[in-house]
Chain A
Amino acid sequence: MNASASSVVSARKLGLTFQTSDGPVHALSVVDLEVEKGDFVSFIGPSGCGKTTFLRVIADLEKNTAGEITVNGMTPEEARKSRCYGYVFQAPALYPWRTIEKNVVLPLEIMGYSKTEQKQRVQRTLDLVNLTGFGKKYPWQLSGGMQQRASIARALAFDADLLLMDEPFGALDEIVRDHLNEQLLKLWAATEKTICFVTHSIPEAVYLSTKIVVMSPRPGRVTDVIHSTLPRERPLEIRETPEFLEIAHRVREGLRAGHSYEE
């Protein structure tokens, strides 16, 4: 394997085929991809293009059936067992019987952090996602946006370098989503993490990413990888600039190309 030293995720000819009663389904086929340290990589594509499946392969929640993949230079299973990544799901998946604080502590309890360490980290991560003072609330007492922020705090609590996010803001309204996107960028700048982010929103992908991976379905594959020329510092207004619109246009073209032979 000749992945460079700074490569966090490295996929070579990756494939995944589900055996279903209707015959095999090719969720991923021949995916080659490098995610460098510090990257913010978005995966965009229509549903069924395998973007979530790819994220789940990185997280060792699915096993690839072809090709190779390394995460931090290890197999995904080793990476999972050494707690290399934090995963944010489509829904907050907070445990309703635990307070927000206790939910954030959950991974720390499992990983055996000391009580004082747990306390410090909960405080720090709740501050990071602007939920200071909400620690004693139960998840169902908070709004959807706050719940999703708490689930991000939970993924950040144990300081994994890699953050995997599967359409985390998909269920939220536009305004809350803008706000959370802005916060996510700040968080990324502050923590210097590598982020893999699945979305089906073009503006979201362009606004957030340093690298946009455009995917197409049946079989799931990568059709284009776009390196963003936007600066790292991005106010929300950047979405009105010609540069932004040009990248968005290229993403849209890529999506359309992937779609063209269907319909």
Chain B
Amino acid sequence: MTYLLRSWQGSIALLLCLLALVRLPLLATDASTPFAAAGTAGVLLLIAVGALACFMRISRAARALILFVTAHTAAWLLIGGMSGNEGNASLSYFLLIAASWLLGWRCISELAEIRPSSRQTMMALRLLIPAIFGAWVLILWEAITRGAGVPFILLPPPSAIWDRIVSSVPILAADVRQTVFKAVLFGYVVGCAAGFAVAILADRISFLRRGLLPIGNLMSALPIIGVAPIMVMWFGFDWQSKAAVVIVMTFFPMLVNTVAGLSASGSMERDLMRSYASGYWQTLVKLRLPAAMLFIFNALKINSTLALIGAIVAEFFGTPIVGMGFRISTEIGRMNVDMVWAEIAVAALIGSVFYGVVALVELATTFWHPSNRGG
């Protein structure tokens, strides 16, 4: 019993494997191109080997490698055998998918336990673990949507979305150029810069601080859905109106965060500057802005995702026939759900990269802060 408990994923995978063997075949009997016997046997064998590896007394790395190979090859074979047979999977098929998923799970937990000595291996592991995790989200999505024959319009399988991305690169590129490189970047830079500049002004001039900030809080609560059509009225259908929406959205997080950051320096540090008879601008540049960096980067990170959302939503309210928001709103009307998902995938990728770049710059700038010193 304790032997089985050494790895519950392995035990259950083995159990599922046996159940699947009893409930063969993998596809409904009227499927057009049924699995070859060799293929079925291969999948069962792979999963059994992987499950047994969980109990073997070998090094963690070797076990993780065996699990990695068996789990993914089994999943590959299972999904590959599904082409032409969409919606015809039997219970046995899903049991085997579940079993290989458990092996993948075990693989990740083995990898997470490895304590490598070199920095390179450490880095590789830190990338590998989330990559396998993400891959399994896609594998399960693919296997379930195709195995159970989920209607395309509800949820297309990832492979179909990928095919759509590959076959419409020029369209996607044009949309990205219109939405990201024109509206988002321009709006982000101008919005953040304006928020920053006004924060400094408000800090310098007390009537602005008292009068503007409360109104600023009010404006930051404005619904983007309401602002977007008005901006289209003011600035026309092209990217300028979207940039304006992005400016409105990014301005206030930057303003509020910078104002908060400017008071983040300690009283002792400010007394020190006073004892040097330091002027306003010297104190600002040498003490208060460096101390505010954490707040400012916070705003930059919030804004990096807000800007993308703002630009895409704004395109729903009138745009030339290009742009990510325009594409989503028109393709969903034409039931081309895979195109909508393709745009979503591209947006998610760009948003993550944008955020990641800002976070990296932050790490390089605020390396001195206690929260960043460790690594």
Q: Contacts A106-B286, A110-B282 given: A96-B368 contact, CB under 8 Å?
A: yes
Indicate if A91 sits at the interface (CB-CB under 8 A). yes
Cβ of B124 within 8 Å of any chain A Cβ, yes or no, is no
How distant is the Cα of A85 from the Cα of B366 in the complex, in angstroms? Answer: 32
Q: Is B268 an interface residue (CB 8 A)?
A: yes
Chain B residues with CB under 8 Å of A106's CB are 276, 286
Residue A97 CB within 8 A of the other chain: yes
B344 CB to closest chain A CB, in angstroms?
A: 39
Within B273-317, the residues touching A (CB, 8 Å) are 273-278, 282, 286-287, 290, 293
Q: Mark B350-375, 1 if CB is under 8 A from A, else 0.
A: 00000000000000001011100100
Bound complex: CA A35 to CA B288 (Å): 35
In the docked arrangement, what's the CA distance between A109 and B283, Å?
11
Contact A110 B368 (CB under 8 A): no
- Known contacts: A81-B277, A111-B276, A140-B368. The answer to whether A97 contacts B271 by CB under 8 A is no
A248 to B272 Cα, complex, angstroms: 33
In the bound complex, do residue A93 and residue B368 qualify as a contact, i.e. CB atoms below 8 Å apart? no
Pairwise interchain contact B276-A83, C-beta atoms closer than 8 A = yes
C-alpha spacing A61/B269, complex, angstroms: 12
Q: Is residue B266 within 8 Å, beta carbon to beta carbon, of the partner chain? A: yes
Q: Do the beta carbons of A107 and B290 come within 8 Å of each other? A: no
Bound complex: CA of A93 vs CA of B368, how far in Å? 14
Q: Given A93-B266, A93-B269, are A110 and B275 also a contact pair (CB < 8 Å)?
A: no
Partner of B271 from the list A81, A82, A89, A95 (CB cut-off 8 Å) is A89
A111 CA to B369 CA in the complex, in Å? 27
Closest Cβ–Cβ distance, residue A152 to chain B (whole Å): 13
Closest partner residue, chain B, to A85 (CB atom): B275
A111 CA to B282 CA in the complex, in Å? 10
**Distance in Å: Cβ of B363 to nearest Cβ of chain A:** 13
- CB contacts (< 8 Å) of B293 on chain A: these are 97
A80 close to B (CB within 8 Å): yes
CB-defined contacts of A107 to chain B, threshold 8 Å: 276
Contact B368 A80 (CB under 8 A): no
Q: Size of chain A's interface in residues, with CB distance under 8 A?
A: 24
Q: Which of B272, B282, B370 contacts A93 (CB 8 A)?
A: B272
A110-B286 in contact given A83-B276, A87-B275, A89-B272 (Cβ < 8 Å)? yes
- Report the separation of the CA atoms of residues A95 and B287 in the bound assembly, to the nearest whole angstrom: 8
**A95 surroundings in chain B (CB, below 8 A):** 269, 286-287, 290
In the complex, whether A134 has a CB less than 8 A from a CB of chain B is no
Within 8 A of B (CB), among A74-124: 80-83, 85-87, 89-91, 93, 95-97, 106-107, 109-111
| In the complex, the 5 A-B pairs of residues with the closest C-beta atoms, listed nearest first | A96-B368, A87-B275, A97-B368, A93-B268, A81-B277
Q: Is the CB of A138 within 8 A of B368?
A: yes
The interface residues of chain B lying within 8 Å CB-to-CB of A97 are 290, 293, 366, 368
- Is the pair B278, A110 in contact by a Cβ cutoff of 8 Å? yes
Residues in A with CB closer than 8 Å to B269 are: 93, 95
Q: Which residue of A lies closest to B283 (CB)?
A: A110
A59 at interface by CB-CB < 8 Å? yes
Partner of B369, one of A80, A93, A96: A96
Q: Which residues of A contact B273 (CB under 8 A)?
A: 110
| A113 to B269 Cα, complex, angstroms | 21
**Chain A residue, CB-CB nearest to B268:** A93
Q: Say whether B274 contacts A80, CB under 8 Å.
A: yes
As a 0/1 sequence over residues 222 to 257 of chain B, the CB contacts with chain A under 8 angstroms (1 = contact) are 000000000000000000000000000000000000
Which chain A positions have C-beta within 8 A of B282? 110
Contacts of A59 in B (CB 8 A): 275
| A-B contact sample (20 more), CB < 8 A, given A91-B268, A106-B286, A107-B276 | A59-B275, A60-B274, A61-B271, A80-B275, A80-B277, A82-B277, A89-B268, A93-B269, A93-B272, A95-B269, A95-B286, A96-B368, A96-B369, A97-B290, A97-B293, A109-B286, A110-B273, A110-B286, A111-B276, A140-B370
